[in-house]
Amino acid sequence: MSGVFDLSHRPEDMRAMGEALLLDRLESLLEIPQANLALASSTDEARQAVWSSDLTLAHDFGADGVIALDEPAQPGLTLYRIGGQQTPITVLCAMDAEQAALLRTKLNAVPCCLLEVGMMQLSPGACLAARKDREERDAILADIAQALSEELGEVGQVTPRGLVYEHSNPMTLKRLGLVLAEDGEGLVGHVRDAQTARDLRDFLGYKAQRRIATVRRVTKETEITLSVDLDREGAAIETGNAFFDHMLEQIARHGGIALSVSCQGDLEVDAHHTIEDVCLALGEGLRKALGDKRGIGRFGFELPMDETRAGVWIDLSGRPYAVFEGEIPGERVGDFPVEMCPHAFRSIAESLKAALHVKVEGENAHHMIESTFKAFGRALRMAVRVEGDALPSTKGVL
């Protein structure tokens, strides 16, 4: 066994490089010169620096997270939290370089680990995940707005900053798990994310369930954000593999679902990790969106396509099992390796926790692969369709 120690970079050099990378990214997103930015390890430290500098925050987006960066930069001294709740690295956007320099004298150096978190949170995939989370949160809040109004005894509204109730009883807001902040003339309760909204829905005993889910999957080979809505339609797919994008669009169209996928994968190696990991994320997203599976059809489809015939049989049983029958000729269709077709369905079955049987026969590799994805979409449409409110199992659980 042998090893090499690289002593060419000291810890302070590594921190400086990490800070420079993060500031470059923030400058690009906010369209503000780096000289006007100051980094802090937390929102509390940033606010304390503002106060001790005899300055006033014009805008405080500490409760919003990275989603606030989607909005145009605001005039005046502005605070953005770019890290998570447990790693709340924060940036202050000053009015000029002199003001930012003053703030930096009041702030400690941000540790390397937090700088790394900041870069991860600002990656395209992470930003997309934050937007999808906000969309799910807003959809849930729209469903339970009336119930919340009855609980609080006053009318609330969904805003870009969350669910806002002015002049509410602080104890009631805390009991509902909301993040409290002063905003304008009153106290505001911010619903941070979709999970908080789901908790509110459960607390209120609200029975309506939106069949949507967002999955974030990050490995050394891929960075994926995938969202699925079983009760809407549409597709926005970008994996870097054109033929695979087309196949995922087939699932969305023929499955009658809305599917959004963003993947940055190691395509310079090959397409294996991208296809496998996206299919694992797809199965997980479908499983989460199905919830308790009450009322679904559960089973489902054969499909002819020119000389080809494909059949997909699915059972959303909670027990993963995959069978693929058929020999697809050739090595590649476009940028899609033929051998990945059976592997894709095995990956979906594994994370969806479903029995998935696929059979295909034909001559043209393009037709054979496409027909399996179309048939899977049609089988999925039948299986996830709500037909009543009973659980389709004598076991009492799926």
SS3 annotation, the chain: CCCCCCCCCCHHHHHHHHHHHHHHHHHHHHCCCHHHEEEECCHHHHHHHHHHCCCCCCEEECCCHHHHHHCCCCCCCEEEECCCCCCCCEEEECCCHHHHHHHHCCCCCCCHHHHHHHHHHCCHHHHHHHHHHHHHHHHHHHHHHHHHHHHHCCCCEEECCEEECCCCCHHHHHHCCCEEEEECCEEEEECCCHHHHHHHHHHCCCCCCCCEEEEEEECCCEEEEEEEECCCCEEEEECCCHHHHHHHHHHHHHHCCEEEEEEEECCCCCCHHHHHHHHHHHHHHHHHHHCCCCCECCECCEEEECCEEEEEEEECCCCCEEEEECCCCCCEECCEECCHHHHHHHHHHHHHCCEEEEEEECCCHHHHHHHHHHHHHHHHHHHHCECCCCCCCCCCCC
Mean pLDDT of the chain, nearest integer: 82
Taking only the tens place, the pLDDT of each residue in 221-279 is 999 999 999 988 999 999 999 999 999 999 999 999 999 999 999 999 899 999 999 99
302 and 210 Cβ atoms separated by less than 8 Å: no
Look at residue 189 and tell me whether its pLDDT is greater than 70. Answer: no
Look at residue 361 and tell me whether its pLDDT is greater than 90. Answer: yes
When pLDDT is cut at 50, 70 and 90, the band that residue 328 belongs to is very high
Quick one: tokens of 50? 């503002």
> What mean pLDDT do residues 83-112 have?
89
What phi, psi does 380 have (nearest 5°)?
Answer: -65, -40
When pLDDT is cut at 50, 70 and 90, the band that residue 3 belongs to is very low
CA-based nearest residue to 156, from 193, 116, 188, 109:
188
Least confident range of 112-116, 167-171, 328-332: 167-171
Look at residue 147 and tell me whether its pLDDT is greater than 70. Answer: no
Burial class (CB in 10 A: 0-12, 13-18, 19+), 184: exposed
> What mean pLDDT do residues 63-68 have?
78
Q: What per-residue confidence (pLDDT) applies to 5?
A: 41
Q: What is the CATH number of domain 212-384?
A: 3.30.230.40
126 and 225 Cβ atoms separated by less than 8 Å: yes
335 and 242 Cβ atoms separated by less than 8 Å: yes
Residue ranges covered by each domain of the chain: 11-122, 126-203, 212-384
Cα distances (Å, whole numbers) of residue 343 to 278, 287, 325, 339: 12, 19, 12, 7
376 and 253 Cβ atoms separated by less than 8 Å: no
> What mean pLDDT do residues 185-190 have?
57
Least confident range of 121-130, 171-180, 186-195: 171-180
